[in-house]
Amino acid sequence: MKYKVLMALMGLEIGGAETHVVELSKELKKQGFDIVVASNGGVYEKELAEMGIKHYKVPMNQRNVLKMIRSYFLLKKIIRKEKIDIVHSHARIPGFICGLLFKRIKFTFVTSAHWVFYTGMGLKYLTNWGQKVVAVSEDIRRYLIENYRVRNEDIFVTINGIDTDKFSPDTDGGKIRAEFALKTEEPTLVYVSRMDESRALVARQLIALAPALAKAIPGLRMIIVGGGDVYDELFERSKGVNKQIGRNCIAMTGARTDINELVAVADVFVGVSRAALEAMAGEKTTIVAGNEGYIGIFGREKLELAQENNFCCRGCELSTEKQLYQDVVYAFNQMTVEQRQQAGAYGREVIFQYYSVTKMALDCVKAYDTAWKELHNPQYHVVMSGYYGFNNTGDEAIMISMHKNIQEMGDNYHITVLSNNPVGTREKYGIEAVYRFGFWEVMRAIRGCDVLLSGGGSLLQDSTSTRSLLYYLSITVAAKLMGKRVMLYANGIGPVSGKRNRRLVKQVVNRADLITLREENSYEELLSMGVNSQKCFVTADPVFTMDCICKEDARALLKTEGIPLEKPLVVVSVRNWKEMDRFIDRFAMLCDTIVEKYDRTIVFLSMQMPNDITVSEKVRKKMKQNAYILRNNYSPYEIMGVISLADFILSMRLHTLIFAARQKVPLIGFIYDPKIEYYLEKLEMPSGGKLKEFDMGKTLEMVDDIIHNRGKYIQILEEKEALLEGQAHQNENYLAKLLQRGRGR
C-alpha cells in the first residue's frame, strides 16, 4: 500500500536527523509514497520543494507551551486536510504532540529514535514512541528497551541511508575550491557537525590543534562546516589561530546545504554519524570522532564497533587532542595517496553494502506496514508463564517452540514471556520478556494481555518445592482476578503429593478457561483431584514441533569442543536425582562397555547448566575409557543439532528423549519420573528401567539391538514423531478457539 505519510520534525536546519528525514522523504517519494513534511522550517525546505514534497511550517522546535499548543492544532488540521495515513515523528517534541493527537484521531503512528534522550525530570514520561519505533542503531534499540520499556518486537533497526549519487567520488568540488581559494596540491581536512555546545567538542579540538597540525603538515587547510549556538565563539577563536599561524589555515563556513561539494575537496574527513557516512560514500579517508567518543581512522577492523553505535562513537573512549593529532598527522603524512584511496574505496563499499537510502526507506515501510495492520486488525496479546530463563534447555525449548508456533498463527499475536533472565531471553532468542519476580512488571503484562498461558512443562508439582507450585497458581489467580482468559498449555501435571496442595490445584485449575495436557497421565492426575474434565484435552509437548541447526554446524560445534568425529557418537544425558550414587557406578560401567565392545565415542551433554555437568563429571570419573563432556552453554537448537549426529541416545532427561525422537535417533531412557516412562511407551522405545532397578545386562541387550537393528527403531520413530508433532500443533488450535470465543481485555 502506498501510504500518505506526514513527517513531523523540529526543523529543517543542518543536522544529522534533519538530513536523514530529507533523504528518507525523497526516497519514499521516488518509491510512489505521498509525502508531507511539517516542521519549523529551515535550509532544506528548498530541496524538498524541488522534489514536489509539500512543507507546512509548525513550531515544534521548542519546549514552549504556547508553541506546542499551536503545533497541536496545526498538526490536527494538516492530518485531516491531507487525509494522512501514517504520521512519522522524528524528535521528542513532535512525538509528544503527535502522541496526544493519536488518542483523538485515527492514524498510524510511527516514530524514529535518532539519538538517546535525557530521561530525568519526568521527561521520560512525556516521550511517546508511537505504535512502532525505527531506531537508527542497535545500541539505541537497547536504550529504548531498557529506559522506556519499548517492546523488542515494536522496534525496527535501520541505518542512516546515504544517497550515493549525491555523495560520490565524482562530485565536483570546483565551486568550493574557488570560494576558499583552495589549490589542489594543498592538503585539506574537512570537518562537518552542528556547532552546538553538545556537538562541538572535536571542532574545538581541531581549532586548538591547528598550529601544531599546520607545522606537522605543511600547507594544511581546514574547513569546519556547520552552524549553531557556539559558532560565533569558535569563529573568533579560529580567527585568532589563523593570525597565530600567519595565514588562513581554518575556514569556518557556518550552516551549509552543499555538504557533498564540501566533502569532495577533502583529503581527510573528520566527523561522526551521518556526516562520516557521507564522507565514506565520497571515498574519503575518514576519522570518526565526536562528542560521544572516538573511533579513529575508519577501516575494516573498525566496522563492527562503528556499526554498533551507528558511527556515533557512543560507548567509546572520549576524543582527546593527543589521539586526534596523531591520527590526523598519520593520515596525511604516513598514509600514501594510494593507501588513502584504498581506505576511501572500502568506505564507499561499506555504504553500498549496509547504508543505502533504499534500505533505509524499506525498513521504514516495514514499520509502517506492521503498524497499519495492528491499527486495522484485531490484536491478541499473550503472556507466557513457565520455568523460563533458568538455563534449563528443556524449558527453553518449550518456550521457543510455543513462541514460534503462536507467532506463526499471525502477525497479530504479540507475546510476552515471564522470565528469570529477561535480558538474556530477549538477546538470545529475540523474545519479549519481563522479570518473573518483578511484581509490577508481571501485573502490568497480565493487565495488558488477552490470555495467560501457563506452560508447558511440569509446572504444577510439589516434588521440587511447594513454593514453585504456589508461584504458578498465584499467576493464574492474578490473571483471573483481572478478568483474563487462562489456558494451561501442554502441561505435565504432578506429582502433587500434599493434600492441601492437591486441593489448591483443583480450586485454581478449575478457574482456567482451557487445559491442554502433554500426556494421558497428567489428564488422569487432574481428574483424580476433581478438575472439570470438560476443560481438559490431551495434546503433546510443543518441543515436537522444534527444529535445530544443520548437521554441518553441529559437527563444527563438536570440533570446537575437541570431540573427534571418526567414530559413531553415543550422546548421554544424565541429571542429579535421589539414589544416584549406585546408579552412577553401574552407568559408568555401561558407558565403558559401549566404548570397548562397540567402538563408540561417548559425549555427555548438559540440559541444565551447571548441574548436569557436575553429575556427568561424576560418571566420567568412574569410567575407565575416555569420554567427552560438552561444557559450553548451548541453545536448544544447538543441543538438538548435536543429538541429530548421534548413533543413539542414553538419557534420563525428558527433552533429550524428545529431541532424539524429533531427529529420529534411537534412544534408551532411564526413569526417574513417570513422564519419562510415559513417553518411552508412547514412542515405543526401550527403557533402562527405574534408577534403583537398573540392570546393566538387560540394558546392554537393548544397546546391541539398537546397533544391529537401527533401521527398525528409526522407522518406529518416524511414525510416532509425525503423530506427536500433529498433536503438539493442536495446542495452537485450542488457543485460537479460546480467543475467538471473546477477548478478555
- Residue 291: alpha-carbon gap to chain centroid: 27
Enumerate the β-bridge partners of residue 650: 572, 668
* Cα–Cα distance list, 314 to 130, 143, 197, 290, 296 (Å): 25, 12, 17, 9, 13
- 685-710 burial by CB neighbour count: b if 16+ within 10 A, else e? bbbbeebeebeeeebbebbeebbeee
How many CB atoms are closer than 10 A to CB 184? 8
Enumerate the β-bridge partners of residue 516: 537
Q: Are residues 426 and 333 in the same domain?
A: no
Say how many Å lie between the first and final Cα of the chain, rounded. Answer: 30
Q: Are residues 706 and 579 in the same domain?
A: yes
Q: Are residues 583 and 684 in the same domain?
A: yes
What are the pLDDT digits (tens) for 507-524? 999 999 999 999 999 999
Residue 12 lies in a domain: yes
The cell numbers describing 735, all together, are 488457543
CA quadruple 446, 448, 453, 458: dihedral positive or negative? negative
Half-sphere exposure of 578 (CA within 13 A, CB side): 7
3-state secondary structure of 577: coil
Q: Give the chain's domain count.
A: 4
How many CB atoms are closer than 10 A to CB 443? 13
* Cα–Cα distance list, 238 to 81, 116, 269, 515 (Å): 49, 31, 18, 75
Q: Are residues 9 and 117 in the same domain?
A: yes
Distance CA 318, CA 293 (A): 4
Q: Are residues 150 and 189 in the same domain?
A: no
Residue 745: its pLDDT value, please? 39
Residue 393: its pLDDT value, please? 95
Sequential DSSP letters for 444-485:
HHHHT-SEEEEEEES-S--SS-HHHHHHHHHHHHHHHHTT-E
DSSP type of residue 247: S
Residue 372 lies in a domain: no
Q: Are residues 321 and 435 in the same domain?
A: no
Half-sphere exposure of 253 (CA within 13 A, CB side): 22
Instruction: Tell which of 157, 191, 214 closes a domain.
Output: 157
Q: Are residues 397 and 481 in the same domain?
A: yes
Residue 369 lies in a domain: no
What are the pLDDT digits (tens) for 453-469? 999 889 999 888 899 99
Enumerate the β-bridge partners of residue 392: 608
Specify the length of the chain in residues. Answer: 745
Distance CA 79, CA 59 (A): 16
Closest CA to 213 of 205, 320, 631: 205
Distance CA 707, CA 678 (A): 24
Residues 6+ apart with CB under 8 A from 505: 460, 469, 473, 493, 496, 526, 529, 531
Q: Are residues 307 and 452 in the same domain?
A: no
E strand segments, 595-665: 601-604, 628-629, 646-651
**Edge-to-edge strands, sheet with 514-517:** 433-435, 413-419, 380-388, 451-457, 485-491, 514-517, 536-538
Enumerate the β-bridge partners of residue 536: 515
Does residue 88 contact residue 34 with C-beta atoms inside 8 Å? no
Sequential DSSP letters for 347-375:
HHHHHHHH-BHHHHHHHHHHHHHHHHHHH
Residue 366 lies in a domain: no
Residue 448 lies in a domain: yes
Q: Could you give the angle at which helices 393-407 and 710-740 cross, rounded to 10 degrees?
A: 50
Q: Are residues 234 and 327 in the same domain?
A: yes
Residue 240 lies in a domain: yes
Name the CA dihedral angle for 120, 124, 126, 127, rounded to a multiple of 10 degrees: 130
What values do phi and psi take at 578, rounded to 5? Answer: -65, 150
Residue 122: its pLDDT value, please? 65
Q: Are residues 195 and 95 in the same domain?
A: no
Residue 529: its pLDDT value, please? 96
Residue 362 lies in a domain: no
Residues 6+ apart with CB under 8 A from 433: 388, 389, 416, 417, 418, 419, 422, 423, 425, 426
Distance CA 54, CA 130 (A): 23
The cell numbers describing 264, all together, are 569532495
Residue 496 lies in a domain: yes
Distance CA 94, CA 38 (A): 9
The pLDDT averaged over each successive group of 10 residues in the chain (745 residues) is 96 88 96 98 94 97 94 97 97 94 94 82 77 92 90 92 93 96 96 92 97 97 95 97 96 94 97 94 97 95 91 92 98 95 96 92 96 93 96 96 96 95 93 95 96 93 90 97 97 92 96 96 95 96 96 96 96 89 92 97 94 94 96 95 98 96 97 91 95 91 97 97 96 95 52
Residues 6+ apart with CB under 8 A from 316: 292, 293, 294, 295, 305, 309
Instruction: Residue 504: give its domain's CATH number.
Output: 3.40.50.2000
3-state secondary structure of 646: strand
Question: Which helix (H) or strand (E) covers residue 729, if one does?
Answer: helix 710-740
Instruction: Tell which of 123, 157, 191 closes a domain.
Output: 157
Q: Are residues 295 and 261 in the same domain?
A: yes
Does residue 530 contact residue 506 with C-beta atoms inside 8 Å? yes
DSSP type of residue 599: -
Half-sphere exposure of 404 (CA within 13 A, CB side): 17
List the domain range (segments joined by +) for residue 278: 174-355
Distance CA 365, CA 460 (A): 45
Q: Are residues 486 and 632 in the same domain?
A: no
Residues 6+ apart with CB under 8 A from 473: 460, 504, 505, 508
Distance CA 534, CA 296 (A): 68
CA quadruple 401, 406, 407, 413: dihedral positive or negative? negative
The cell numbers describing 464, all together, are 521440587
